[in-house]
Amino acid sequence: MRFSSEEKLLPNAWSYAYQSKDIYLCARIMQPTGYWNQERIYSGINVTRMRKKPMNEQEQRAELARFLRTRRERISPDQAGFPAGKRRRTPGLRREELALAAGVGTTWYTWLEQGRAISVSASVLESLARVLHLNEDERAYLFLLARGQSPTIPAPATHRADPALQLIVENMGIYPSYVICPHWDLIAWNQAACHIYADFRKISARERNFLWFLFTHPQPRTQLVNWEEDAQRTLALFRTSTQRYIGEAWLRELIRDLGEASPEFREWWPLYEVQGMQMRPMHLIHPLVGSLHLQATAFQLPDHRDLRMIVHTPVPNTDTAAKLTALLEETS
C-alpha cells in the first residue's frame, strides 16, 4: 500500500495514514487513548519504532466529555442548590440540573458531554467550572480541552511573598535572586540581588517594579554593559508575559507612566517586539568587584503560579562566583 507524494496526514475517527521520506505507514488506533493498536509497515526503510499519535480533535472532545461526566457525578444536588429528593440511580447531578445551574440548554450540554463538535465560549466554561466546583488545575484543564488554551486569570491587585518563599530566596546565597508578580513588581529578593542591582529596601514601591527600575533608575544604565540590548529584550519579554492583562488599569497606567518617564520606552514600546522566557547572559560592571557575567533562569513556582523566581548564576569559566562570594562577605 503506497501513497502519492502529494498525500499528507489523513486522520479520521479510526485510521491514520502517513507518508514520509523513508517510510510508508498505515495504522489503526484504539479509541479513546490514542495509542497504536495495530501497525503495518509497507516498503519500510530503517524503521525502528512507532510513536504515539497526538490527540486529534475527536479524541480531545471525547476526553472533554469524560472529564465533564466525572466532575458532574461527584457534585451532590445540594452543592448545586437542588433538593436531594428520592434516592437516585446514578451519583451526582443530572445533566439537566447542571445545564440549568450553568445557564445553558440541556440539549446543548448533552451534546457537549457526548463529545459532539460544538463551540464553547469562555463564559460558558466559567459557568460550568463554577457549578462543578473545579479547582484551579481542573479549570485550566477544562479550558485546554474545550478551547485549546488556558483561561485568563486576572492579575491580583496586590501580591505578597509568604515567609516560606522569602526564606527560599534568602537561602540562594551568593546567587542574586528575586521574585516578581504578574505586574513585574519585586515582592521578594535576597542580599545578593541588592548588591548587583540596588538596595530594594530603600527605594519606593513604584521603583521596585522591575521594568520601571530598568528604564528609569540610573544604576542599571551605568552597570549593564549592554543596557540597550538588555532593556529591549526585557521589554519584549514583558509584553509577552502581560498579554493576558491587556486592558487592565494597572497595565495601562504603567505603560503611560513609563512613556512619560523614559524616552527609550516611548520609542521601543510601539514596535511590538515579543519574546518568550528565554534568558540570556548579562554582563555588568560592579563598582567594587568589576566585571560580572551572570546567567538568569526563571522558575514558575508551583504553589504560586502567578509568581516567577529569577535566579542569576555565574557563567561558567569566569571568575564571577568568586567575586559574588567576596562581595557578600565584604558587606555582611
pLDDT of residue 268: 96
* DSSP of 151-163: PP-PPPS-----H
How far apart (Å, rounded) are the C-alpha atoms in residues 228 and 169?
Answer: 28
Q: Using the 8-state DSSP alphabet, how is residue 185 labeled?
A: B
Q: Strands, E, within 127-185: which ranges?
A: 177-180
pLDDT value, residue 152: 61
Examine the pLDDT at 77 and tell me if it is beyond 90.
no
More confident call, 298 vs 54 = 298
Q: pLDDT value at position 278?
A: 72
Q: Does domain 163-331 have CATH number 3.40.50.2300?
A: no
pTM: 0.62
The residue-averaged pLDDT of 18-37 equals 35
Beta bridge partners of 297: 311
| pLDDT band of 315, cuts 50, 70, 90 | very high
Please list the residues that pair with 10 across neighbouring strands: 17
Dist. CA 180–CA 299, nearest whole Å: 11
pLDDT at res. 38: 38
13: exposed, middle or buried (Cβ count in 10 Å: 0-12, 13-18, 19+): exposed
State the cell numbers at 306: 502567578
CATH 3.40.50.300 fits 57-147, yes or no: no
Q: Give CA–CA dist 178/98, Å, rounded.
A: 44
Select, from the ranges 2-16, 42-56, 311-325, the one with the highest average predicted confidence (pLDDT): 311-325
293 band by pLDDT with thresholds 50, 70 and 90: very high
User: What is residue 240's predicted lDDT score, i.e. its pLDDT?
Assistant: 87
3-state secondary structure of 27: strand
How high is the pLDDT of residue 158?
62
Alpha carbon distances (Å) from 172 to 154, 177, 304, 310: 30, 7, 18, 11
Domain boundaries, the chain: 1-54, 57-147, 163-331
d(CA 46, CA 321): 48
**What is the average pLDDT across 134-155?**
76
Question: Residue 55: what pLDDT?
Answer: 53
Whether residue 112 contacts residue 65, with contact meaning beta carbons closer than 8 Å, is answered with yes
